[in-house]
Structure 1
Amino acid sequence: MFQLFNPIWLFAITALSIPVIIHLWNIRPGKVLKVGSISLIQAASRKSSRSLNLMDVLLLLLRCLLLLLLAILLAQPFWTQNIKSGKLKGWVLIPRENIHQVYTAFKFRIDSLTNAGYQLHYFNNGFAIADTANFKTQADSAALNPVNNWAMLKQLSVQTPSGLPLYLFTVNSLNSVAGAKPQLNLNLRIQTYTPADSTVKWIQNAAITNNGIKITEGNSQPNGTTFSSTVVQATEQRGSVYQININSGQASVSYKNDTVNKAVNIDTATLQIAIYGDKGSDAQYLKAALDAVKQFTSRKINIQVSNTEARIPGLADWVFWLREQRIPSMIARNVSRIFVYEPGKVQNTNTWLDIDNNKIGLTKHIVTESNGETVWKDGFGNCVLSLETGPKQQLYHFYSRFNPSWGDLVWSDAFPKLMLNLLTDYKTDSIRDKRKVDDTQLLPTLTADNTIVAGSHAIRKTDLSKVLWLALVLLFLIERMLAHRTKSTENYG
């Protein structure tokens, strides 16, 4: 049976009227009749006529069919088929990367389900059937990137029979979910466990300070990720857990006898920060927060405040553009990280900025469409700061202001900390992030009744998008060939 996920897109079929009107509105030129003399032809009143003729019917049909297939494709079609489930009771799903740990944690439960007639599948692309004879002894394979459970469950909702009981055994890591929580029609149950390697420590960054080399370490555990700093001397090798190396003039630091983590380059340069704003404007509040960051980190940071574009250094690492007008292209091209005030309509509000359990009051915000990835958001979910990442540049769009009339941000104790997080790369990659998530948070929003049990018949759903894409490409090529041949015939024939 042919069905659609989003049938509202069928309204796009009304676009079929466009090629019909174009083909009907065909004004044909009059014919020229050659005669020897017009002396015997009486003068007649000038008449004009317009005919609505349907020409190139095959070309018209192809164009209409293209629009029809495009509308159906937007409606996300799929084919449902009644199948006999027979003795199949359901599926047991296990990620291939953690199959040994999963089976060790849920051995009794998995054996009970497989003995009862449940089929074992890998929770990976394609959901291949696992080798039941050998899966109990298979070793884990370290994945380059963790499996995105929500993205995989979306595929599962299309490839499994409707109402079939599904049991998913997987890790409870926060990095196993990404994006918005999906709403799925699945008869699903999830059980999770904490991996054995649930604690990891690494060197995040290192920089030269006035007192020595400041090394920042990251430590991720199921209950959270923390960062701490230690200052060491370049000559402090004996008894230290760190090892300082110099290769081709570049100094780096690593853990001693560590063959897993790579050495981290030591930043020896001075961080150049330029703030552009009007006199007595928001720049003074930002300058105070950055001075606190400079004092806390002991890094070599040069902060320059200016209200003249010509005084902004061309080799600045950061530019904070605290003006309403657009940043000049000359500055934007030469700076790798830019923080700009986003222009737009100002609207009063009564909410807060919630970052790291710090609720900071906001009374105004800019109403406009956000660009890039959301970094900060308010209590209503509106974007306050977004990041647009390019190949050589990071552009931060700020939908508020560093001004007391816009909220409590500049008076908050968390303000310098927020600036520190922007200036310093404290982001944790997905492999090192060991934070855990609750099973109820990991479970997607289920639109079907979880108590449904598959009977003797089930429904298999097949996605038809790939077939329609192929048909669209073929029809488009045929339409172009036919249109070109028709045009050539008119010009030369």
Structure 2
Amino acid sequence: MLHLLQPIWMLLSAGIIIPVLIHLWHRKPGRVLRIGSIQLLKSATVRHARSLRLSELLLLLLRCAFIVLLAMLLSQPQWKSPFSKEHRGWIILEDHAYPYFKKTIDSLIESGCELHRFDTAFTRINIKHLPAYDSSSVSYRTLLKRLETLVPPDFPLYVFSGDQQKRFHGPRTSLDLTLHWYTYTNKDTVDNWNAYTFAINKDSVREINGVAAYNGVTWTQTSKALSTPVLPFKVCIYADDHLADGRYLRAAIMAVQEYSGREIVFTDMATDKSPDWLCWLSEKPLPADMHPLHIVKYTTGAAIFADTLSAGDFTIYKRHQVPIKSDTIIFHDYGGYPLIGVNGNQYTLYSHLHPEWNDAVTTGQLPLQLLDVIVPVPSPGKHDLRAVDSRQLLSDNNLGISKRIAPVRTIDLKDTLLLLLVLVLAVERLLSLKAKKEVANA
């Protein structure tokens, strides 16, 4: 069935009256034959001149067809038809999965199943010309959810794919599909990569390397000597009227240094204008001549008692009121009150690093929080090869109580109409030029 997404453009087809009027206006004049008794033919000639006759009928039809096709093209036509169950089912095949299930897939194809690629378009493919590589990172769950818009709920689907955990991200929603899912585990692939490198002294660095396999990810640390010096991690602390806060912060950073081995150097604003971190534990404005990579600063305003609300493993006693135009909040207590905001490279603290404000500095939580900042735990990301448990593949299906409307197959006719439009225009131009040459030679 033909559907038009913008049917108002079909009014343009009324323009076919224009080529009709042009053809009626430009009639080919009759040739005058000088013969005897011309008076006897005078009345007949006059009647012939006044009659309406269409000339160049093929040209007229082509021009009218061009206008109608243009109107249909602008109307965005689509052909929709009910889903055909001429095949026994679909085989959804991920690249590289065929060798693991060759016998099963060949048997399904012989029984009448149609082969499709496991991608966003579920492209139909041939078993003799399988794709060589799949670079998609779209979640399997997202892809399978799209199938609900393509096939009826009782149509058999046979999915063959890998079982890598990184392809199962996203919500685990129910699938209203008749799904049979087969996975394989690639136990031969191991990925090694350097995840993080930092200086431990002037001539050496420590590398954190990842090793990923189907059964997990492990991390190893190795020290390496370098021929060229490596810059240390530079921290500048300005405490102003909060000297105790500065001492607590310095002690926490030194604990991180002792645990991780990373070389950390404390600098001052007089000698270093570009530290890695500027810890501005003051309500004063930031100096304009400092250009640190990151800034940690206190907010301004009066203190508010927090009624000992918890924030993870430590307790908040006092905090600042957050301004109306606050930064993006990245950490808050269990009461929902912001504790840390960020804006670009600037972090704002809404509580102080002092036992009167919270107990993070006395319970050992401050060094643990700083450890994730100074020596962050790397993520395996694209290197993750861990296999998912087979019990996590499918959710409960709704088959049997499904109220989902059977999908229809939609074919966009834009490209077809565009091709016809070009062909009609080309033929019309050829015939028009030919007609002009004949008139000129007459």
Normalising by the residue count of structure 2, what TM-score does the alignment of the two structures yield?
A: 0.55
For the pair 1:287 / 2:250, whether they are aligned, the reply is: yes
For the pair 1:220 / 2:208, whether they are aligned, the reply is: no
Q: Partner residue of 1:300?
A: 263
Structure 1 residue 84, shift from structure 2 partner: 3.6
Structure 1 residue 197, shift from structure 2 partner: 5.1
Q: Partner residue of 2:117?
A: 122
Q: Partner residue of 1:273?
A: 235
- Contact persistence 1:190–1:439 (CA under 8 A): no
Give secondary structure in 2 for the equivalent of 1:229.
strand
Distance 2:111 2:325 in 1: 53
The CA deviation string for residues 62-83 of structure 1, in whole angstroms up to 9 with x for no partner, is xxxxxxxxxxxxxxxxx99671
Change over 3 Å in CA distance of 1:89–1:343 after alignment to 2? farther
- Contact persistence 2:153–2:402 (CA under 8 A): no
Structure 1 residue 410, shift from structure 2 partner: 3.6
Distance 1:408 1:80 in 2: 68
Structure 1 residue 290, shift from structure 2 partner: 1.0
Distance 2:145 2:329 in 1: 22
The correspondence of residues 373-452 of structure 1 with structure 2, limited to 5 A, is: 394-396=345-347, 402-404=353-355, 409-411=360-362, 415-424=366-375, 426-428=377-379, 430-439=381-390, 449-450=398-399
The letter of the residue matching 1:218 is G
Structure 1 residue 373, shift from structure 2 partner: 9.7
Distance 2:332 2:85 in 1: 51
The CA deviation string for residues 166-196 of structure 1, in whole angstroms up to 9 with x for no partner, is 4443333333245x52646542555444334
Structure 1 residue 288, shift from structure 2 partner: 1.8
Change over 3 Å in CA distance of 1:208–1:289 after alignment to 2? closer
Change over 3 Å in CA distance of 1:430–1:215 after alignment to 2? closer
User: Gaps (5+ residues) in structure 1?
Assistant: 2-78, 235-245, 252-266, 354-359, 465-493
Distance 1:168 1:186 in 2: 15
Q: Which has the larger radius of gyration?
A: 2
The CA deviation string for residues 40-86 of structure 1, in whole angstroms up to 9 with x for no partner, is xxxxxxxxxxxxxxxxxxxxxxxxxxxxxxxxxxxxxxx99671432
Give secondary structure in 2 for the equivalent of 1:302.
strand
- Contact persistence 2:151–2:406 (CA under 8 A): no
Distance 1:104 1:273 in 2: 55
For the pair 1:318 / 2:313, whether they are aligned, the reply is: no
Distance 1:94 1:312 in 2: 62
Change over 3 Å in CA distance of 1:133–1:298 after alignment to 2? closer
The letter of the residue matching 1:181 is P
Structure 1 residue 226, shift from structure 2 partner: 3.7
Q: Name the structure where strand makes up a greater proportion of residues.
A: 1
Q: Partner residue of 2:406?
A: 458
Structure 1 residue 450, shift from structure 2 partner: 4.5
Distance 2:101 2:338 in 1: 41
Structure 1 residue 423, shift from structure 2 partner: 1.9
Structure 1 residue 269, shift from structure 2 partner: 0.9
For the pair 1:181 / 2:181, whether they are aligned, the reply is: no
- Contact persistence 2:202–2:232 (CA under 8 A): no
Q: Partner residue of 2:82?
A: 83
Q: Partner residue of 1:11?
A: none
- Contact persistence 1:387–1:395 (CA under 8 A): yes
Q: Partner residue of 2:65?
A: none
Q: 2:223 aligns with which of 225, 231, 238?
A: 231
For the pair 1:336 / 2:293, whether they are aligned, the reply is: yes
Structure 1 residue 118, shift from structure 2 partner: 3.9
Distance 1:453 1:116 in 2: 27
The CA deviation string for residues 234-283 of structure 1, in whole angstroms up to 9 with x for no partner, is 4xxxxxxxxxxx7xxxx5xxxxxxxxxxxxxxx71122112344514544
- Contact persistence 1:81–1:459 (CA under 8 A): no
Structure 1 residue 394, shift from structure 2 partner: 4.3
Give secondary structure in 2 for the equivalent of 1:428.
coil
The CA deviation string for residues 207-230 of structure 1, in whole angstroms up to 9 with x for no partner, is 351674433322334454343322
Q: 2:162 aligns with which of 159, 171, 186?
A: 171
Structure 1 residue 106, shift from structure 2 partner: 4.0
The letter of the residue matching 1:286 is L
Distance 1:165 1:343 in 2: 64
Moved more, 393-402 or 312-321: 393-402
- Contact persistence 1:199–1:220 (CA under 8 A): yes
Normalising by the residue count of structure 1, what TM-score does the alignment of the two structures yield?
A: 0.51
Change over 3 Å in CA distance of 1:83–1:217 after alignment to 2? same
For the pair 1:207 / 2:187, whether they are aligned, the reply is: no
Structure 1 residue 317, shift from structure 2 partner: 1.0
User: Gaps (5+ residues) in structure 2?
Assistant: 2-77, 413-442
Q: Partner residue of 1:146?
A: 137
For the pair 1:132 / 2:148, whether they are aligned, the reply is: no
Distance 1:378 1:114 in 2: 58
- Contact persistence 2:242–2:282 (CA under 8 A): no
Distance 2:218 2:310 in 1: 28
Give secondary structure in 2 for the equivalent of 1:87.
coil
Change over 3 Å in CA distance of 1:339–1:127 after alignment to 2? farther
Change over 3 Å in CA distance of 1:315–1:193 after alignment to 2? same
Distance 1:150 1:381 in 2: 32
Change over 3 Å in CA distance of 1:294–1:155 after alignment to 2? same
The CA deviation string for residues 312-351 of structure 1, in whole angstroms up to 9 with x for no partner, is 94301123345578x748378x332334567898866866
Percent identical pairs in the alignment equals 26
Q: How many residues were matched structurally?
A: 328
Structure 1 residue 121, shift from structure 2 partner: 1.9
Distance 1:304 1:132 in 2: 66
